[in-house]
Structure 1
C-alpha cells in the first residue's frame, strides 16, 4: 500500500514536471522578445528609398544642409537618363522642358544653355561622383528628408500611394521581422496616468508599405524601418506623398492688408525674424537675383534653407529680382533686346521653380526715360509666364515727378495693369547725398506722393513703402560739408541716448526729431521708428490700400513689427486708428 502511494506521488510529480516543462516551452515560445537593437548597424549616413535600405551603395553625405547622392544611385533608382561625360567631367540632367549641365566642382551651371549660378556643385569624394539632390527634388517628383536622429536620408516618390497607421498605445513595438521573437527597433513613450496614451501626430505616424497576414512593413517618422503587428495599430486612408498637406502647401496670402518686408540678404540684420517675435509679416522679399552684366547673367543668392525657414514661419517668399543699378546703359541694352529679355525671364522662372518661390518682386531702377515702354514690355512678358507657375508678381516704383532716370522712367498705370501689386517706394525724400538735411520720409510728403500715385495705380493693388532707416546728418561748422549715414531703429535711439540729445515730436513729419552739436559738428535726425511706422501705416486704412512694403528688415527692431501687426491685422478702419492709436508714444 505504501509503495503504491509512493508510486502515485512520483507519477504525479513526473506529470507536474512534464506539465511545467510544456508550460515553460510554451511560455518561451510565445514570450515576446523585449530586447532593443539599433535600427541601422552600419556607422554611416544611410539612404532609404521607400521601405528599402540601400546597404550596398555608396552612402549619401551632407555638406551644411545640402544632401549629396552618388551619381550611380541616382541613375539606378531615380533617373535612368542622367548622364556623365567623363571627358568633360560634366553631369547632364534632362526633363521635359530643361537641360541642366553641371561641371564637377563648379557653381556655374547651364540651364537650357544659359549660365546660372548654383549654391552647390557636383563633387567627387573618395573617388565617387556625388550630385546635390535638394534642388532637383521638384524636377524628379520626389520627397526628400534627412533625419539627424538616425542619420538617415529618406526618399519617396510623390506619385506613390501609401497608407498611414498610428500605434494604438505605448505597447506597440516596431520589430526587425514578422515575429514577436524578433528584437525591437522602435518603441514609444506613453503619456497619462498609466503612461500608455499616444497622441496622433506626425511624430507617431507610420507609413505602411506592405502587409502579410498579421504584420505591416512600416517606416517611422524618424526613418526606422521594421514590422508592426496589425492588431497594435490603427490604419487610416490613403495619401499620395510622404509629406503632409501642411508641409506641402505654401502659406496662404492674407485676405486683409498685406505686409511685404524686404530683406537685404547681403547685409546683417539687427534681429532674427520669426513669427513669434516679429509678427505682422505676410511676405518676405529677399534680395536674391540680380543682373550683373550686359549678357543678362543673373547672380543668385537663394538658399533652400531660407525658403524652409520662411514657410515654417508662415511667410510667402517673393524673391527680389533687380537690374544692375549702376549700369544704366547695360539695362537699356537688355530691355531693348527681345532675345535677352526672353532668356532672363526664362532663367528667373527656372530659379523660381528650383527654389519653390511664391512670387517675384521686380526692382529695376536707374532706367532711361526713353526706355519706359521697353521696361513695361519686359514686365508684360514676364507676368503671364510667372502666373503660369502660380507666382505672384509685384513691381517697385518710385514716387512721381522725380528725375528722368529714377522716377519718370516708370509708366505706373501700365505697370499696374500688368502685375498683381505695385510697391511704392515712398522714402529717400532726402537721399544719402542730398544737398539738404531732412527726413527719410515725412508723413506729409508720403501722403502727397501717395495721392499722386493713386491717380494711376488702383488702391487695391498698391503697397505703401515704409522705411525703417534713419539718416544721421552731420555738417561741419568749419567747411559746411554735409554727409549722412543710415542707422537702424536701435542705433538711432542709441545715438540719442549716447549724446544726451533732446528729441521733440514733429507733427508734419510724423517723427521724433533731434539736433545736437558735438566737436564743431551739427548732427540732425528725423527718426524712423515704431511711431513713424504707426503714422505711415494709418494711411493704408485712410486710402484703403492693399498693404505695406517695408525697407528693410535689416534696420528693424521688434517694436515696429508689433505696430505692423496691430495696424494691419487688428485695426479695421482709419476711424478706429484715429480714436485709439493716433498719439505718439515716447519710449524706445
Structure 2
C-alpha cells in the first residue's frame, strides 16, 4: 500500500488550528486532501466501499474498526491504530493528523461527506448502531428478567407457605399469666390461674360445666362434695378437709383458693372425681378439656402435613401433624378438610393428606360408684292422698279389689317454712298394717306451700340438714321403707340447690337402707334443670308423671294421650336407667266445658275419676268412640251454648299405657291416685307389670 502524505494545504490547517466548521467549508476537495493514489479501498484493506458503508443504516462491516474505537468522542490516536507506528504510510499519518486536529478542538466534528469517503460513516449512523445494540440488549434482558419473574411467580404461587400463625393471634389473647380454658372445642369466657405450679379454675365454671357436685354452700362459705356415702367439706385457703363423720384429710396443696374475692378449685383434684379428659398446651398457656362422650367423626393423617388457618396453601400454618395422627373431622370443603386438633385449633388439611372418615365413641374416664337400692320385683306404687291423720284409717277400703300393689305413698309431709319445717300426718299403725299386707310405705313430701322460696330453702345448709334429719328420724320412728320427694315448684334459680338437697338426702337414705324416689315432670326443655341424669346417679327410683298433658287452664284435650306418655318414657330413658324408671299413669280424666257467649268461648275443666266420666257421657246419651291417635275413647255432647268433651281413662286406655311400660322394660308403674280407678283396671296393670 502507498504511503499517505500531508500536503502543504493540510499542514497550514493543522498549524492554524482551523475550526472544524471552517475546514468543512473549505473548498478543498477530497482528492486534494488525500493523495490521489490512496483510494477508499486501500485505506480499508481493499474492502469495497459498498461493503464498508451502508447508507441506509450506517453500519460498518470492516472487522478492523470496532464500535468503541469508531465512536470515541475525542478520536485519540491510540483509538485509531491499525498497526505499529513505524508501519504507518504517509496517508495513514495524514489521517492520524486529521484526527488530532478534530480532537484538539474538543469537538466531534461531523463531516459526513468526508467520513463517508474514508469509510468511517457519520456519528449519527454509529450512534444508531450503538442505540440499536443497546435496545436489543435491553429487550433481551427484559425478556430474560420477565421469564425469571414469571418462573418465580409460578413457583411462589404453587409453593405452600411455611409461615406459622401465632397461637396468641389465633386465640386473640395477649401474653400473660392467665390460662386459656377450652371445653369441647370452644373457648370459654373464663380463665384459670397458676398457684404454686398448680392450675386452678373458677368454682362457678367447675360446678356449671365439669362437675356440679363441687357445690359452694353460701351459708357456711365452704365447698361441699358429695359421694355415694359421704359429704366432704373444703374450707377456703386450706389444704385439709373433712367428711360428714368428722374425719380429717389433707393434701400438699390448697384445694380451694380465694383470689381477688373469687373462688378457685384445684383442677387436677377435680379431675380425679370427674368424667372428662384434658391436656395442657403452651403459646398461649391453655388447658383443653373434653366431656363430650357422644360419637365423634375422625380422620387419620396419611402423611406428615400441616393444619392451616384457612383452606389454601398460602394460609398460615397453625400446627404440624405427623403421619398416623388421629384428628377430629368436622366437614369437607373444596379439596380441604376442616378438622379440630387436640390442642384446640380449628383449621384445614388438604383432603389428599387424610383417610376416609370413621366414627368412634369416646370412652368414659370416670364412672360413678354409687350403689342403689333396686327391688327384685316390678314396682306398683299407688299414691294415697290424705289431708288428716284420721284418713289413714280408711286405707283398707281403698285397697280392697286392688291387685299386686307393692308400695303405698301416703301424702303425709309438706314443707311449711323456709327453715325446713315440715307438717306430718304419719301414723305407726298405718305402716304396720301395710307391712302385714306385704306393702312397703314410701311417704310423699311436697313443696306446695306458696310461701316457700326454693332458693332460700334449698341453699341453706341448716334447712337442708333439718329436712333430712326429720325424714330419717321419722323413717326410723315409723318404720318407713322409703321416701318419695314430690317437689313440683323447683325453678331454674333454685335447681342447683334442690339437687344438692337430693344428693345429701340420698347419702342419709343409703346409709340407713331407705329407698329414695323422686317425682318428675315429663322431660322437656323448659324443665331440664331438674337434671334427671344427676338424679339418676343418686336416687333409687325416678317417677315420670305421665299425665297433665292438658290441665286446668289449658285448652281442652287428653290428660294422657298415648303419644304423650311414650314421649315421656323415651325422653327420660335418655338420662335414666330403665331399671330405675317408673311411669305414672292417671286414674283420673277431665270433663271439659266450652261455653260460648257473644261469640267468645271460655274453656274450663274438672278432674274426675274414671267412672264419673263414663257416667257423664251415659247420662247425656253421648257415644264414646275409640280414637287410635290418642289411645282413648272420646265422647262429646252439646247443651244450649255449652260443649262438653271427655277423653276417657278406662281399661282399654290403661292397657295401651301398660304395653309401653312393658315394652320399655321399666322398673314399674305408679298411679295417681288410689280411689279414682275402676277396680277392673287392676287386673290389666297386673298383667303387664311383671
TM-score when scaled to structure 1?
0.51
Q: Which residue of 2 aligns with 1:372?
A: 495
Which is helix-richer, 1 or 2? 2
Structure 2 residue 558 is the aligned partner of structure 1 residue 558: no
Cα deviation code 1:407-458 (max 9, x no counterpart): 2330110001111100001110001111x10011100111122111111111
Cα deviation code 1:258-279 (max 9, x no counterpart): 1111111129899955666211
Residue 471 (structure 1) aligned to one of 583, 590, 595 = 590
Q: Which residue of 2 aligns with 1:362?
A: 485
How far residue 504 of structure 1 moved from its aligned partner, in angstroms, is: 0.5
How far residue 519 of structure 1 moved from its aligned partner, in angstroms, is: 3.3
Q: Which residue of 2 aligns with 1:430?
A: 550
Q: Is the 8 A contact 1:271 1:557 kept in 2?
A: no
- Aligned-residue Cα RMSD (Å) equals 2.1
Question: What CA distance in whole angstroms lies between the structure 2 residues aligned with 1:280 and 1:409?
Answer: 34
How far residue 386 of structure 1 moved from its aligned partner, in angstroms, is: 1.3
Q: Which residue of 2 aligns with 1:498?
A: 619
Question: What CA distance in whole angstroms lies between the structure 1 residues aligned with 2:410 and 2:502?
Answer: 20
Q: Which residue of 2 aligns with 1:523?
A: 644
Structure 2 residue 667 is the aligned partner of structure 1 residue 546: yes
Residue 524 (structure 2) aligned to one of 401, 404, 408 = 401
Cα deviation code 1:67-100 (max 9, x no counterpart): xxxxxxxxxxxxxxxxxxxxxxxxxxxxxxxxxx
Structure 2 residue 467 is the aligned partner of structure 1 residue 347: no
Question: What CA distance in whole angstroms lies between the structure 2 residues aligned with 1:357 and 1:488?
Answer: 29
* 264-273 or 450-459, larger mean C-alpha shift: 264-273
Q: For the structure 1 residues 254 and 344, does the alpha-carbon distance in structure 2 shift closer, same or farther, using more than 3 Å as the test? A: closer
Q: Which residue of 2 aligns with 1:322?
A: 446
Question: What CA distance in whole angstroms lies between the structure 1 residues aligned with 2:387 and 2:656?
Answer: 29
Q: Which residue of 2 aligns with 1:278?
A: 402
Structure 2 residue 414 is the aligned partner of structure 1 residue 294: no
Report the count of equivalent residues.
313
For residue 339 of structure 1, give the secondary structure of its aligned residue in structure 2.
Answer: helix
Q: Is the 8 A contact 1:475 1:483 kept in 2?
A: yes
Question: What CA distance in whole angstroms lies between the structure 2 residues aligned with 1:518 and 1:272?
Answer: 40
Residue 511 (structure 2) aligned to one of 388, 395, 410 = 388
Q: Which residue of 2 aligns with 1:305?
A: 429
Q: For the structure 1 residues 558 and 347, does the alpha-carbon distance in structure 2 shift closer, same or farther, using more than 3 Å as the test? A: same
Q: Which residue of 2 aligns with 1:412?
A: 532
Q: Is the 8 A contact 2:454 2:494 kept in 1?
A: no
Question: What CA distance in whole angstroms lies between the structure 2 residues aligned with 1:253 and 1:459?
Answer: 11
**Unpaired segments ≥5 residues, structure 1:** 1-251, 570-588
Cα deviation code 1:227-272 (max 9, x no counterpart): xxxxxxxxxxxxxxxxxxxxxxxxx986232111111112989995
Question: What CA distance in whole angstroms lies between the structure 2 residues aligned with 1:365 and 1:427?
Answer: 14
Q: Is the 8 A contact 1:395 1:422 kept in 2?
A: yes
Q: Which residue of 1 aligns with 2:139?
A: none
Q: Is the 8 A contact 2:655 2:684 kept in 1?
A: yes
Q: Is the 8 A contact 2:544 2:568 kept in 1?
A: no
Question: What CA distance in whole angstroms lies between the structure 2 residues aligned with 1:291 and 1:274?
Answer: 26
Q: For the structure 1 residues 560 and 398, does the alpha-carbon distance in structure 2 shift closer, same or farther, using more than 3 Å as the test? A: same
Q: Which residue of 2 aligns with 1:79?
A: none
For residue 480 of structure 1, give the secondary structure of its aligned residue in structure 2.
Answer: strand
Please tell me whether Structure 1 or Structure 2 has the larger radius of gyration of its CA atoms. 2
Q: For the structure 1 residues 255 and 274, does the alpha-carbon distance in structure 2 shift closer, same or farther, using more than 3 Å as the test? A: farther
Question: What CA distance in whole angstroms lies between the structure 1 residues aligned with 2:395 and 2:461?
Answer: 42
Cα deviation code 1:156-196 (max 9, x no counterpart): xxxxxxxxxxxxxxxxxxxxxxxxxxxxxxxxxxxxxxxxx
Question: What CA distance in whole angstroms lies between the structure 2 residues aligned with 1:298 and 1:491?
Answer: 34
How far residue 520 of structure 1 moved from its aligned partner, in angstroms, is: 2.1
How far residue 309 of structure 1 moved from its aligned partner, in angstroms, is: 2.5
TM-score when scaled to structure 2?
0.44
Q: For the structure 1 residues 515 and 272, does the alpha-carbon distance in structure 2 shift closer, same or farther, using more than 3 Å as the test? A: farther
Q: Is the 8 A contact 1:325 1:364 kept in 2?
A: no
How far residue 379 of structure 1 moved from its aligned partner, in angstroms, is: 0.5
Question: What CA distance in whole angstroms lies between the structure 2 residues aligned with 1:423 and 1:274?
Answer: 22
Structure 2 residue 467 is the aligned partner of structure 1 residue 333: no
How far residue 351 of structure 1 moved from its aligned partner, in angstroms, is: 1.3
For residue 481 of structure 1, give the secondary structure of its aligned residue in structure 2.
Answer: strand
| Off by >4 Å, runs of 4+ in structure 1 | 267-276
Q: Which residue of 1 aligns with 2:567?
A: 448
